[in-house]
Structure 1
Amino acid sequence: MATRHLYLVRHGAADAFGELTEAGRRQSALLGERLAGVPIDTVWHSPLPRATASAEILGAHLPGAAVREAAELVDHVPHVPDEIPPAWAGFFDGYDAAEAAAGARIAAELVERFARPADTETHEVLVTHAYPVAWLVRHALDAPPARWLGLDCGNAALTVIEHRTGLAPTLVVYNDMSHLPAELRWTGFGPGARP
């Protein structure tokens, strides 16, 4: 039975203009070193500069892997709940119906393209953003749509999902930062104590 291995990655740390920082470049290189032993076929990336740069750095460590853009990996809000939890009211303030519909459309396209089995064994890296990673994990777990709100991931953290025909997706690992030294972990999160 062929397995589609998806290695979901949030881009490396970026500055306020969306460009990778030195820390983000280091994070991406270390993740590339970690994945170098995996037979990666393709590194797909969001069209945004921070994801493109992260993918190019990863690709330099993965000989033979194609590095390609996938519009579905763009940063977007995949789902706006009908009843917004009070803690999230500020986050969704200002989202109108058209923006919500556009985000839902991109989320559906993301799932259709990547969250399904392939005809042959594949190993694909998806360099994207926190929200698409959360959406794909939520989808793999068959959780309610609003559940993506509680799933966060760090910069250059690794999440692995496997898709096989006739079986539910397998979440192998979520938000793994073991390839990063302590000073490069937990970037992309808000303030707080971290293990």
Structure 2
Amino acid sequence: MPTRHVYLARHGAADPFGELTDVGQRQSELLGRRLAGLPIDAVWHSPLPRAVRSARIVGRHLPDATVREAAELVDHVPHVPDDAPPAWAAFFDGYDAEEAAAGSRLADALTDRFARPAEAETHEVLVTHAYQVAWLLRHALDAPPVRWLGLNCGNTALTAIEYRDGMAPTVVLYNDMGHLPAELRWTGFGNGTRP
């Protein structure tokens, strides 16, 4: 039975203008080295510059892989709950019904394209954004839509999900930063105590 191996990664650390920082470039380089031993077929990336640059750096370590844009990976809010949890209410302040519907359509397109089995064994890297990693993880776990909230991931942290016909998805890794030295971990998170 063929398996679709999907390796999700948030782009490297970026500046306020969305360009990779030196830290983000180093993180992307280390992610590429980690993935170099796998038979990667394709590296898909969001159209936003921080993801494009990260994907190109990762792709240099994967000479047999194509590096391509996938519009479905763009950064967006995938789900606006009807009654947001109190801690998240301010985050959703200002989202109107049209924006929520657009985000929902993008989220459906993301799962329709990448969260399903393939006809042949494939290994794909998706360089995207924190919300999209959270949405695909929530989907793989068959959790309610609101559960994407709080599933943050670090810059270039690795999440791996496997898809097979007739079976529920298998979450192999989530937010794994083992390829990063301590000083490059936990970027992309708010302040807090980290293990």
Given the two structures, how large is their TM-score scaled by the length of structure 2? 1.00
Number of the residue aligned with 1:51: 51
Q: Where do 5+ consecutive residues of structure 2 fail to align?
A: none
Instruction: Determine the C-alpha separation between the residues in 2 that align with 1:127 and 1:117.
Output: 19
1:90, distance to aligned residue in structure 2 (A): 1.0
Give 5+ residue unaligned stretches, structure 1: none
Partner SS, residue 91 of structure 1:
helix
Query: How far is 1:64 from its partner?
Result: 1.2
| CA-to-aligned-CA distance 1:17-40 (integer Å, 9 cap, x gap) | 000000000000000000000000
Residue 22 of structure 1 corresponds to: 22
Deviations 1:67-87 (CA, angstroms, capped at 9, x unpaired): 000000000000000111110
Aligned to 1:137: 137
Q: Using the alignment, how far apart are the partners of 2:146 and 2:84 within structure 1? A: 9
1:68 maps to 2:75:
no
1:80-135: CA deviation from partner (whole Å, max 9, x where unpaired): 00111110011101001111000000000000000000000000000000000000
Residue 172 of structure 1: aligned partner: 172
SS of the residue aligned with 1:37?
coil
2:161 corresponds to: 161
Q: For 1:111 and 1:192, locate their aligned partners in 2 and report how far apart those are by CA, in whole Å.
A: 31
Q: Quick one: distance in 2 between partners of 1:78 and 1:171?
A: 20
- C-alpha separation between the residues in 2 aligned to 1:182 and 1:109? 35
C-alpha separation in 2, matches of 1:105 and 1:68: 22
Q: What secondary structure sits across from 1:68 in the alignment?
A: strand
Aligned to 1:86: 86
1:39 maps to: 39
Task: Find the aligned partners of 2:140 and 2:18 in 1 and give their Cα distance.
Answer: 28
Deviations 1:151-184 (A, max 9, x none): 1100000000000000000000000000000000
Partners of 2:98 and 2:126 lie apart in 1 by 27
Q: TM-score, normalised by structure 1?
A: 1.00
Q: How many residues align?
A: 195
Letter in 1 for 2:11: H
SS for the counterpart of 1:112 is helix
CA RMSD, 1 decimal:
0.4
Q: Distance in 1 between matches of 2:86 and 2:170?
A: 32
Tell me the SS of whatever aligns to 1:174.
strand
Match of 1:126 in 2: 126
Within 1, Cα distance between the matches of 2:72 and 2:28? 21
Taking the aligned partners of 2:42 and 2:122, their CA distance within structure 1 comes to 9
What secondary structure, in the 3-state scheme, does the structure 2 residue paired with 1:13 have? coil
Structure 1 residue 150, shift from structure 2 partner:
2.1
